[in-house]
Structure 1
Amino acid sequence: MGALKLEDLPHYIYDDYKQWEGRWELIDGIAYAMAPSPIYEHQNISGDIHIELKKLLRECQNCQVALALDWKIAEDTVVCPDNSVICSKTTTDFIEVAPEIIFEVLSPSTKNVDRNRKYNLFQENGVKYYIIVEPKGKFAEVYKLEKGFYRLQGEFTNEKYLFELDECSIEFDFNTIF
């Protein structure tokens, strides 16, 4: 018996995704199971990111932070970033446009998808900043979209980084999450 090929996998769409129980993401029609429930460390860091972003965006009228909200990229692609910054009005139960910033907190079960599939997906769909947070190493990698490709801005532990959004700029203090 041969190895399972990509073309042999079922191709799912958003209507299928809405019916599933548990935590899933859908990328190019392929279902990815997420960890049943993130561990305490993951949730604690994600919560701290959310609080810091909420505080920083208070004065930014058109930008808002979303905590674990689905982003429907296409009929066959739906992801749920840990934290997103959206600088347009959301009129549905999910994100419809590319977020300006996405934070993903790595966990052992999703690390490869976050570093590869999502990295490429976010780059292709115009997410200006992608931040990969490594809880075990206590650092965050900040990637900025430049001429269609992500460029590593650096690894941050207790430094600040200035995110330049269309409507405003925010200086995120990575010391607040580690």
Structure 2
Amino acid sequence: MHAQSAIEYYSVEDYRHWEGDWELIGGIPLAMSPSPAIEHQRLGARILRRLAEALDDCPHCEALYEIDVEFSRDTVVRPDVLVICFEPVGERLTRAPDLIFEILSPATARRDEHTKFQLYRDEGVRWYVLVDPAAARAKVYRLVEDEYRKVGDFRTESCQFELSNCMITFDFGRLWTGGGATSEKF
């Protein structure tokens, strides 16, 4: 039997009926268990809080935590933290966010660094940030001419993210110690 014919293909409609935590990429289900460790959750909460504070003055953008993004009929992922600069239609996100943060863990690092990197690039996510808690470092990528270009590695520095409707400054140094971010309107 050919290996490809043994792989089952699923849709987002199938996904909606599953129990547990899953992602679906190109019709292939990917388990998301066990749930993120405590430090992963803490870091995700800090990122969300910093982004939400930075976006307080922007009426168009908002930060969301672990929400499904349905990119197509066979692909749905759940980024750790994201920023949208549009009003969602219904209860699900079906458009690319402006900014996605993924927190690396041993169980998901390869998926985040390769599979999701390509997926987010192809779907037009403007900014992709890979956060490595073990190294207290974040790699920031910006979409330029349909390719991700690395902006840099950030430990204690700040990075400005130009979103669809505003610009925010994110201080990565305060992320590891609990600090913040600021925003400017266009």
| TM-score of the two chains, using structure 1 as the length reference | 0.96
Identity %: 39
**2:33 maps to amino acid:** A
| Matches of 2:116 and 2:77, distance apart in 1 | 9
Q: CA RMSD in A?
A: 1.2
Q: Is 1:10 paired with 2:8?
A: yes
Partners of 1:166 and 1:33 in 2: CA distance: 32
Partner residue in 2 for 1:105: 103
Q: 2:83 aligns with which of 85, 90, 94?
A: 85
Unaligned runs of 5+ in 2: 177-186
Runs of at least 5 residues in structure 1 that lack an aligned partner in the other structure:
none
Report deviation, 1:22: 1.0
For the residue of structure 1 that corresponds to 2:29, the secondary structure is strand
- Does the CA-based 8 Å contact 1:159-1:175 persist in structure 2? yes
Q: Which residue of 1 aligns with 2:71?
A: 73
Of the structure 1 ranges 140-149 and 35-44, higher mean CA displacement relative to structure 2 is found in 35-44
Secondary structure in 2 matching 1:55: helix
CA contact 1:27–1:79 (8 Å) conserved in 2: yes
* Local SS of the residue matching 2:131: strand
Q: Structure 2: which amino acid aligns with 1:49? A: I
Q: Partner amino acid for 1:20?
A: W
Residues of 2 paired with 1:164 and 1:6: CA distance?
41
Hey, what does 2:28 align to over in structure 1? 30
Contact 1:35 1:110 in 2 (8 A): no
CA 1:175–1:20: 2 relative to 1, 3 Å:
same
Residue 128 of structure 1 is aligned with which of 126, 129, 145?
Answer: 126
Task: Note the C-alpha offset of 1:7.
Answer: 4.0
SS at match of 2:13: helix
Asked if the contact 1:48/1:176 (under 8 Å) is kept, the reply is: no
TM-score (structure 2 length as normaliser): 0.92
Could you tell me how far 1:91 is from its partner in structure 2? 2.6
Other-structure match for 2:147? 149
Number of equivalenced pairs = 176
Q: Distance in 2 between matches of 1:133 and 1:25?
A: 19
Contact 1:106–1:133 (CA under 8 A) maintained in structure 2 = yes
Cα distance between partner residues in 1 of 2:4 and 2:93: 28
Q: Give the alignment partner of residue 21 of structure 1, picking from 19, 22, 47.
A: 19
Paired residue for 1:172? Answer: 170
Q: 2:180 maps to what in 1? A: none
Q: Which residue of 2 aligns with 1:117?
A: 115
Residue 16 of structure 2 aligns to a residue in which SS? Answer: helix
Amino acid at match of 2:109: K
* Worse overlay, 168-177 or 4-13: 4-13
